[in-house]
Amino acid sequence: MSTSAVPSVLFVCVHNAGRSQMAAAFLTHLGGDRVQVRSAGSAPADTVNPAVVEALAEVRIDISDKTPKVLTTEAVQSSDVVITMGCGDACPYFPGKRYLDWQLDDPDGQGVAAVRPIRDEIERRIRGLLAELGIEAAA
């Protein structure tokens, strides 16, 4: 972990338009200011997947103002935990960082009905991550 009292987590997927946006939104929502959250993509899309925005709105999380961001070396270096979601070899590796690879279906091109189970699995994993970090999830 960094010397900061607040752990930092980076979520990475290819387009930063679905899985990583959902994970970042849940971690921000449930972890609040007790964790620093970033997300990025190795080849970011122009916009966040509308079905992802809708699926999160159903659980009262608004990401309609979010935009995909490009993955930078600095983002990886300044994060304590890097969680990859299907970005393959495009994710830079730095010794000493904690890496997790979450195998999740890609919501790209899917409707909201197909995104809901992915959303729910991401929420479950985020709650587990918070527990590992010793952070109590917000109600």
Task: State the catalytic residues.
Answer: 13, 87, 91
Token pair of 90 as six digits: 């495009």
Nearest in space to 97 (alpha carbons), one of 79, 110, 112, 123: 79
Q: Are strands 8-13 and 36-41 parallel, antiparallel or unpaired?
A: parallel
Could you give phi then psi for residue 73, rounded to 5 degrees? -60, -40
How far are the Cα atoms of 10, 52, 107, 124, 137 from residue 81, in angstroms, in the given order? 6, 23, 23, 17, 18
